[in-house]
Structure formats: C-alpha cells, structure tokens
Amino acid sequence: MRRPLAAAAGLVAGVLLVQGDTLADDAGADAARRAKAVAVLGAGAASRTIAVGDVEDRLAAMPGFQRGTFGGTADGIRRRFLDEVLLREAVLALGAQAARLEAQPAVALALDRAVSSGVVRAVRDGLGRAVDIPMDDVRAYYERNRARYDAPARYQLWRILCKTGDEAQTVLAAAQADPTPKTFAQLARDHSQDKATALRSGNLGFLAADGTSSEPGLRVDPAIVRAAQAVRDGDIVPAPVVEGDFFSVVWRRGTLAAQKRAVEDVAAPIREILWRARVKAGVDSLVSTLRAAKVHALHEDLLDSLDLSAFPDAGHGP
C-alpha cells in the first residue's frame, strides 16, 4: 500500500507546484499589465505617468452609478474618464508645480491637510466597519450607559424656595396672577433662597421621582416632584410645598416620557458611537507616537511675539 500512497502524494505535490507556478506567472503578467503607461506627461523630474493600474484603481473605487455618467459602454467610460479626469488632474498638477504653487502658504496648508486627512482615512479603514463591531461590545456599552436607554419619566420644574409659608403664599398668588416665565423669573430672583437657581428662574432641570436632577450635583426633596406629578405640564402647583424648613412654589414646565429601549433597538447607533471612539483613539495614538518621534524642538515661548490684533479680520471669532 505504501507505493500507491507515495505515488499519489507525489502527483498531488506536482499538481500544486504547477498551480503555484501558474499563479505566480499570472500575478507577474497582471503586474506588468498594470504598470504599462497609458499616458506620459511632462519631461525629466517633472514628468508624470498615468498607468493602466491608475485608471483601473480609480474606476474601481468609484460607485457604479457614477461610472455610468462617463458613457454607455465600457470603452467609452474608460476613455472619457482618462480624458476628463485623470489627464485633466495631471496637467493641472504639472501647471501648479511649474508655478511653484506648493510654496504658497495657503496651498502648502491645503496639501498638509489633505495628507493628514488621508492618514485619518487609513486609520479608519484599518478599523473595519461599524456594522462589524461585535454584539458583545454593544451590550457592554449599553450596560455602562443604561440610563440613556432605560430612563424613568422626568419633569422639568421651576421652583422658588421661600423662607415662610406666608411668603410662599404671596409668591404663589403673584405667579398665578401672571403665569409667564418673565414674572416667575423675577419672583425667583427676589424671593428664592436657593441661590444656585435664583438667577435662572428657579430652573431645577429635569427631575426624576427621587429628586435627582439632570443638572450635575443637584438633588431636591422628592416631595416637590410628587406635587408636580399631580398637575399638568404648564400648570403651577396650587399650594406651596413643604421642603424641609422652607416652602416651595413649583411650576411644572414640561415632561420627558420614560424611555425603555432594548439593546437590539439601539445596536446601530451604539456601534456608530463605538466606531467613532475607536477612530479617535487610533488617531490620537498615532499622533502621540508621531509627536514623540518627529517633534525635536518646540519653542512655544516664541508664540508670545505674535500680535493677533495685527491680523486682518477673517470673520471668525477670537
């Protein structure tokens, strides 16, 4: 049995060797084909060559509907694209080179931006597509940010915190007589003991039932939320609400309905968020590496000599 097996193995090896040589020959022939010059422009160091591969790559990267705008046949598309796009770009680039436009600050800046944008695109392409981010990563983000997708109802409340019940009754009567933001804002400035919100109409932000606010670090007595839940949006609570040692006049300005979205419902936007974060992290890491390797001298003190007031106004802010 060994001789037939050995013969079969030798036959397979021979076939694979022939196939390997054939593939190598095909690859070499294709490379030679792609390297052939379709057009040569200029002469010497300033010359440019448009190769078959250049035309092929540019057409391949173009959406089909866009290729169709160059003609109704494959031959027409190829020829018109060469003439109207590649040759046009090349002769204009040679003209710019002859005029030394790259030495102009605005052009040099545009070139730098184009190259840096290309590097960012390369980083982005290397990370793959957002839709390919694993569902496990999506679920992990969802759990870390559950409050965004599974949140209770919240109520936007304006509140004037008064020292006494009598003062609160007086403020409430004034607010009910003219239930406008302007009047309530003035009453808050004049009477509210909550100095953190007195100058912003007593706005507490959006409050959950437990008194936590959308405003960072702000939490109030849940009693004022319970009182506001008994009225409609736009109504002032009809009686002062006891809040610790104080009495509050409360205006329910609006409501955010409860949100409860399953992870499957928000997978697409979460993938986009994760993908953008990864692109930023990749670019930041590359910039950090390049700065360490390429920036050899940095004299920020020289910036003090720049007089920004001497620059013409380009219509931008400071």
Arithmetic mean of pLDDT, 123-138:
94
β-bridge partners, 236: 251
**CA 285, chain centre distance (Å):** 17
**Average pLDDT taken over every residue of the chain:** 88
- pLDDT for position 4: 54
pTM score of the predicted model = 0.54
- What's the DSSP call for residue 46? G
Residue 105 belongs to what H/E stretch? helix 105-126
Among 127, 124, 151, 149, which residue's Cα sits nearest to residue 267? 149
Beta-carbon contacts of 47 under 8 Å, excluding residues fewer than 6 positions away, are 40, 41
Distance CA 54, CA 34 (A): 8
Q: What are phi and psi of 240, to 5 degrees?
A: -60, 145
- Reply yes or no on whether the pLDDT at 260 is more than 50: yes
Q: Rounded to whole angstroms, how far apart are CA atoms 115 and 110?
A: 9
- Please give the pLDDT value at position 17: 52
Give the type of residue at 117. S
**Statement: residue 12 has pLDDT above 60:** no
Task: Give the SS3 label for residue 248.
Answer: strand
Six-digit token pair at 317? 């802010």
Alpha carbon distance 87, 80 (integer Å) = 10
User: What was the pLDDT predicted at 316?
Assistant: 52
How does pLDDT run across 192-247, given as a tens digit for each residue? 999 999 999 999 999 999 998 877 778 899 999 999 999 999 999 999 999 999 99
pLDDT at 312: 77
Q: What is the mean pLDDT of residues 152-161?
A: 94
pLDDT above 90: percentage of residues in the chain = 61
pLDDT in tens, 17-72: 555 566 667 788 889 999 999 899 988 877 889 999 999 999 998 899 999 999 98
Greater pLDDT, 191 or 215: 191
Q: What is the pLDDT of residues 280-289, one digit of tens each?
A: 999 999 999 9
